[in-house]
Amino acid sequence: MPSDLGTVLRTWRERVAPADVGLPPGFRRRTPGLRRDELALLAGISVDYLTQLEQGRATAPSARVVEALAGALGLGTAERDHLFLSAGLRPPGTGTVSRYVTPGVRRLVDRLSGTPVSVWDATWTMLLANDEWMALLGPLRDETERNLLWRHFVLGVSAVRHGSAADLDRFETALVADLRAAAADRPADRSVDALVSGLRARSERFAQLWDAGVVGRHASERKTVVHPSVGEVVVDCDVLTVPGAGDLRVVLYTADPGSEAAGALALLSTTGPQAL
């Protein structure tokens, strides 16, 4: 028997037209809105698990799953909170890091076709990236790789090469300063404390910057992405913040029109994501 969560999910799934989320209308659709497989794809979960949620056979989804479903359905803040409550979870508040990508930000990413774009939360954990971003920088293999600080300071995994030691220092300083601000603004979020503790224990460089209380900010800068197929791609990196959206950050990589890098980005947009 469907639960409250299952009823809400099915009702809201059927009200979303495929065109609203960039999908073709198709033929012989038996549902007025999205099919289960389409919503599952958009939310990054399996069709089987979504079916269990709608039928009430799965009743305890994680906050991350509910957040992903809310984003895929294009819910506003009030509806997102209702979805959390239906799942038996407390809606994200000011005391925790929001991982909700607003419909407006999703539309922004969709409309920047041809440009590598990604969206990150206040702890620099990736929430969304378009195909162009994945084609340039490669897909993420597991959850730890979604956090930029963990990738940089612990895993040392990056296809990006900074122009100078000073550029690298500014980049690291800005990352640590951002995480410090997130921890100060959200003292009740234990996931932030766990991230900081893990980074301090595994990275001497991070611990040094954290203990020094560094202050920094991101600035537009030119970076080089080393790609296995097209070689070095020189791009400009810009970081945009989204006021009132939980400190979401939108990162864009662009190249000078007519440059070799622009040609490389155009080529990669046709090849799709690949492992680096």
CATH of the domain at 28: 1.10.260.40
pLDDT over threshold 50, residue 275: no
Claim to verify: residue 203 and residue 69 sit in the same structural domain: no
Claim to verify: residue 237 and residue 120 sit in the same structural domain: yes
pLDDT over threshold 70, residue 14: yes
Claim to verify: residue 57 and residue 163 sit in the same structural domain: no
97 in any annotated domain: no
Distances (CA, A) of 7 to 36, 59, 158, 244: 13, 12, 43, 30
pLDDT over threshold 80, residue 3: no
DSSP β-bridge partners for residue 224: 161, 234
93 in any annotated domain: no
Give residue 60's pLDDT.
Answer: 86
pLDDT over threshold 80, residue 169: yes
74 in any annotated domain: yes
Give residue 206's pLDDT.
Answer: 96
Claim to verify: residue 67 and residue 136 sit in the same structural domain: no
d(CA 249, CA 119): 6
Nearest one of 9, 122, 123, 26 to 68, comparing CA atoms: 9
96 in any annotated domain: no
Claim to verify: residue 142 and residue 250 sit in the same structural domain: yes
> Where does a domain end: 86, 112, 141?
86
Give residue 179's pLDDT.
Answer: 93
pLDDT over threshold 50, residue 276: no
Provide the domain limits for residue 64: 4-86
Read off the pLDDT of residues 63-100 as tens digits, 9 standing for 90 and up: 889 988 988 888 887 888 899 999 988 787 657 788 88
Claim to verify: residue 121 and residue 255 sit in the same structural domain: yes
Read off the pLDDT of residues 22-38 as tens digits, 9 standing for 90 and up: 677 665 667 678 889 98
Claim to verify: residue 186 and residue 63 sit in the same structural domain: no
Please give the structure tokens belonging to residue 235. 């791009």
Read off the pLDDT of residues 174-209 as tens digits, 9 standing for 90 and up: 999 999 988 888 887 888 999 999 999 999 999 999
pLDDT tier at 245 (50, 70, 90 boundaries)?
low
Read off the pLDDT of residues 145-163 as tens digits, 9 standing for 90 and up: 889 999 999 998 888 888 7
d(CA 79, CA 85): 10
Phi-psi region of 244 (alpha: psi -120 to 50; beta: other; left: phi over 0): left
**At 108, which CATH number?**
3.30.450.180
Claim to verify: residue 123 and residue 197 sit in the same structural domain: yes
Please give the structure tokens belonging to residue 198. 């893990």
Nearest one of 136, 154, 238, 160 to 198, comparing CA atoms: 154
d(CA 258, CA 265): 11
Give residue 31's pLDDT.
Answer: 67
Give residue 189's pLDDT.
Answer: 83
Percent of the chain with pLDDT over 90: 29
29 in any annotated domain: yes
91 in any annotated domain: no
Claim to verify: residue 245 and residue 172 sit in the same structural domain: yes
98 in any annotated domain: no
Average of pLDDT values for 228-249?
Answer: 84
27 in any annotated domain: yes
Nearest one of 258, 151, 172 to 218, comparing CA atoms: 172
Give residue 93's pLDDT.
Answer: 66
In the chain, the number of structural domains is 2
Average of pLDDT values for 243-269?
Answer: 86
What is the dihedral angle through the alpha carbons of 138, 39, 104, 19, rounded to the nearest 10 degrees? 110
d(CA 44, CA 42): 6
Mean of pLDDT over the chain: 85
Average of pLDDT values for 128-153?
Answer: 86
Read off the pLDDT of residues 98-125 as tens digits, 9 standing for 90 and up: 888 887 888 889 888 889 999 999 999 9
Give residue 272's pLDDT.
Answer: 62
Read off the pLDDT of residues 58-70 as tens digits, 9 standing for 90 and up: 888 988 899 889 8
Instruction: Count CA atoms within 13 Å of residue 200 on its CB side.
Output: 13
Give residue 49's pLDDT.
Answer: 93
Encode burial over 10-42: b for 16+ CB neighbours within 10 A, e otherwise: bebbeebeeeebeeeeeeeeeeebbbbebbbbb
Claim to verify: residue 118 and residue 243 sit in the same structural domain: yes
Question: 162: helix, coil or strand?
Answer: strand
Contact 160, 224 (CB under 8 A): yes
Q: State how far Cα 170 lies from the chain centre.
A: 23
> Where does a domain end: 57, 86, 115?
86
Give residue 274's pLDDT.
Answer: 54
Claim to verify: residue 9 and residue 46 sit in the same structural domain: yes
Claim to verify: residue 144 and residue 221 sit in the same structural domain: yes
